[in-house]
Structure 1
Amino acid sequence: MEPSVVFFSGLTASDVWFLTEAAFRTLLISVLSISMGTAIGIFCGWLLYEGKIFATLTLAPILDVFRSVPLIIQLVLFYNMAPILGLNLDPFASGTVILTIYTAALVANVARGGFEAVGLPIRRAARSLGMTYFQDLRYVVLPIGGRAVFPAWIGVALGVMKDSALVSVLGYVELLKASQILITRTQQPFVVLAIAGAFYFALSYPVSRYAAKLEKRWAQ
């Protein structure tokens, strides 16, 4: 009697480790994109706040494009156009670039709201104390405005972390792509997706809890 051929196997410890490595990749591309995108977004928000009409006519429409066009379309277009532009980028690099720009576009409006949250009387008082324009920004506007828009920024950061799953369409093996690979092999979608969901929760929950602690500390 010939032995039966097994096409699918159950989930093993190595598969869970495979998902763990994919979770670290998700964390890596998220941290890089959120960090760089936040820095660029704050700068763009400052330009929108100070530039008034000029920034509204030039920078704002560009940011609107990245906010309005679905992220998956941006990823696919950039990844396929990069070689035409002479850029030899792998899926990780392409995904990081687009996620960074996408984050910057979202953070720009949040940052502008933070600048606008600091009233002119406070800024005039800072300048009357002898502060320069950039000292006023660093010691008055950023601390006060940052606290005002911190919850909104946390929402953007958590959203980008979940949106990083779309980089899987480029072939980057992050958490969602790893889950798809294991589902195809094991035919255990419920178990695999439950583990992947637990990893996403483990990545997101500490951020939201730490943010809540900071907000409570600032409120005191």
Structure 2
Amino acid sequence: MQETISFFSGFTPNDLWFLGEAALRTLWISALSITIGTILGGVFGWMLYEGKLTAALTLAPVLDIFRSVPLIIQLVLFYNFAPIVGLDLDPFGSGVVILTIYTAALVANVARGGIEAVGKPMRRAARSLGMSYWQDMRYVVLPIGGRAVFPAWVGVALGVMKDSALVSVLGYVELLKASQILITRTQEPFLILAIAGAFYFALSFPISRYAAKLEQRWAQ
């Protein structure tokens, strides 16, 4: 009698290590995109605040597109369009580009709100003390406005970290893609997804807790 050949195998410690490596890839692509996107978003927010009508007619519509179009559509379109214009990007590179622009589009309004949160009388007082425009931005607007919008920025950062799972549609083996691979092989979806969820929690919880402690320190 012939032995039955099984194409499936149970969950092993190596699979847990595989998910751990995928979690690090998720952390890496998220940290890179959030960092660069936050810097660009701060610049865009300043342009929206200072540019007024000009920025409203040029930059604002572009940012609205990236905020409004579903992220998965942006990823697929860019990944397939990039080679046409001569950009040789792998799934990781394409994911970083789109996640960065997406983050910048979200942070732009946050940054503009932070600048607007600083009252004009306070800014006039800073200028009357002899501060230049950029000194006013650095020593008055950034500390006060940054604290005002910090919770909103944390929400954006955590959201982008979770949205990075969509890069899996391009073939980048991050946490969600790794989970799909293991589910196909082990046929244990509940166990794999529970472990993946625990990894996402382990990545997100320290950020939210540190942000909460930082806010408490600022409130004292």
Report the TM-score, using the length of structure 1 for normalisation: 0.99
Q: Percent identity, aligned pairs only?
A: 80
In 2: Cα distance, 1:85 partner to 1:101 partner: 18
In 2: Cα distance, 1:6 partner to 1:92 partner: 34
Cα drift, residue 2 of structure 1: 2.7
In 2: Cα distance, 1:219 partner to 1:53 partner: 36
In 1: Cα distance, 2:93 partner to 2:7 partner: 35
Q: Give the corresponding residue for 1:48.
A: 48
Paired AA for residue 192 in structure 1: I
Q: Give the number of equivalent residue pairs.
A: 220
Cα drift, residue 130 of structure 1: 0.7
In 1: Cα distance, 2:4 partner to 2:72 partner: 42
In 2: Cα distance, 1:7 partner to 1:57 partner: 58
Please give the residue correspondences for 1:1-220 in structure 2 after superposition, counting only pairs within 5 Å: 1-220=1-220
The Cα RMSD (Å) is 0.5
In 1: Cα distance, 2:102 partner to 2:183 partner: 30
Paired AA for residue 218 in structure 2: W
Cα drift, residue 6 of structure 1: 1.7
Paired AA for residue 42 in structure 1: G
Paired AA for residue 194 in structure 1: A
In 2: Cα distance, 1:113 partner to 1:154 partner: 14
Superposed structure 1 runs of 4+ greater than 6 Å apart: none
Could you report, residue by residue, the CA deviation over 1:53-99 in whole angstroms, capped at 9, with x for unpaired residues? 11011100000000000000000000000000100000000000000
In 2: Cα distance, 1:4 partner to 1:185 partner: 17
Cα drift, residue 110 of structure 1: 0.4
In 2: Cα distance, 1:173 partner to 1:135 partner: 44
Could you list the runs of 5+ residues in structure 2 that have no partner in the other structure? none
Cα drift, residue 193 of structure 1: 0.2
In 2: Cα distance, 1:3 partner to 1:67 partner: 55
Paired AA for residue 70 in structure 1: P
Report the TM-score, using the length of structure 2 for normalisation: 0.99
SS in 2 for 1:82: helix
Paired AA for residue 158 in structure 2: L
Could you list the runs of 5+ residues in structure 1 that have no partner in the other structure? none
Paired AA for residue 175 in structure 1: L
Cα drift, residue 154 of structure 1: 0.2
Paired AA for residue 103 in structure 2: T
In 2: Cα distance, 1:60 partner to 1:2 partner: 68
Cα drift, residue 7 of structure 1: 1.8
Cα drift, residue 4 of structure 1: 2.4
Cα drift, residue 204 of structure 1: 0.2
Cα drift, residue 23 of structure 1: 0.2
